[in-house]
Structure 1
Amino acid sequence: MVVLAGYETVKEALVNQADAFADRPSIPIIEDAQQGHGIVFSNGEVWKVMRRFAISTLRDYGMGKKTIEDRIVEECRFLLQEFESFDEICAAFIQSHTFLRRLKELDENDQRSFIDAFLIRQQEEKTKNQSNEFFHNENLKVVVSELFGAGTETTSTTLRWGLLLMMKYPEIQRKVQEEMTKVIGSAQPRIEHRAKLPYTDAVVHEIQRFANIAPASVPHATNVDVTLGGYFIPKVIVLSCTVIAQLNLLLFCYQHGGISEPVNDVLLCPTDFSYWEGEKSQ
């Protein structure tokens, strides 16, 4: 196993030599669970096809566009109504096999979700008499699970830490509330408000830094012989050489974290948020 620590080392490996470190290692527990399907832990053509399909489909549904913001605001309104109508909120676990039930009521002209788009592509591949190597049910279950997990874990963790830290630092909470009240008022928050909320934006950045939400990268593996920092890392052939980047060290890095002084496990005081505010204006 190779562990990458330090800003320059991580950047050299995962940015400057990204293609060489693009593969995923063979991890028995992951292999047993996913059988090489999905996006996050797949390699080769499976990774390329599933990644390309996921990105293009999510963009078709509005990812990165204003249309998706309108849908999110609408969903938030319905969610708030549900919160107000129940004393207790119960979380429901989504079983992957229930996704496949949508096949019975699938309408090519009325695609409602990523799952519909995948199932329609699956039918198209079968119609072409192709082997359907990629668009099968097992890939669907893994990809949807990965997208669901990636879309909820970091957000929920940020919210939990945000609630904790706002309770611990009420003076910061008060300033955030004052800025949001002044800029947003009683309206729904939107992307356009972000540029007008420099302090709140800085607090969110600092919460994520302090909370150490992603302490390590997804495991990588080399697909060619690589020399990194004077050390030789061989191309993976049979046994995988796992490469993991310690991202938590970057969050507490004096030189490249933009922190005015060496950081320990104490949330920065409000005046130190000036770094994040300045970064947004550069």
Structure 2
Amino acid sequence: MGVDVAFGDQPAYLRVAGDLRQKIVAGELPPHTRLPSQARIREQYGVSDTVALEARKVLMAEGLVEGRSGSGTYVREQPVPRALVRTGYRSVGDSTPFRQEQADDRVKGTWESRSEQVAAGADVARRLRIAVGDRVMRTGYLFRAAGEPAMLSTSWEPLAVTGRTPVMLPEEGPLAGKGVVERMAAIDLIVDNVTEEVSARPGLAEEALALGGVPGHCVLVVSRTYLAGGCPVETADIVMLAERHRVAYHLPVK
């Protein structure tokens, strides 16, 4: 887990945190074990209360331990990351929004969604190549795998393209729940290109709450845009907890 880095003289709290981290990784402090108390850390490492407290804060920030009210600090059970495989569009019968984002076909996914018309902000306008303030259909999704929250997605579609068509609402109408490619084909738009950017950032409090994570922990964001004839027809941000996912790209060689 992680990379062993130590440049020059480390502050005492980092040395203490590093030693405790190694014990957690090695299994000497297994999941659900109570972390040594602040007093015990102070005595064991010969440091001050401030150093002991800062060391525990480091481990909390790294997601290795968690505080339990009135009980103490315990080692967290680390999730096994699931692969989010990006292979490009595959024409399959069950091309639902969840299937587009899900790597493991054995996992049955469900999702909740909500759509509303909004004015495009600067970032969405840039990605869709429309003017700031133009109307778009924004749809928020919460995807679940095996009943547990897996990822969030927010998509935006320009109403200049989909407005007053049978596919204006992604989760209603004759193509409800189908993927962007099928829906756009129904209004004679052939999606022929997809762009993606992957980034990482601290998770927002509301994202962590929805995904069952800890506020401030890192999330992965896949920013995806579908294009038809060079014109963006949908853009979306897919958000997942970094500790639970890894993004794997399988790209054909032409």
The TM tier, using the shorter chain, reads under 0.3
More helix by share: 1
More strand by share: 2
TM-score normalised by L of structure 1 = 0.22
TM-score normalised by L of structure 2 = 0.24
Larger relative contact order (Cα-Cα within 8 Å, sequence gap ≥ 6):
1
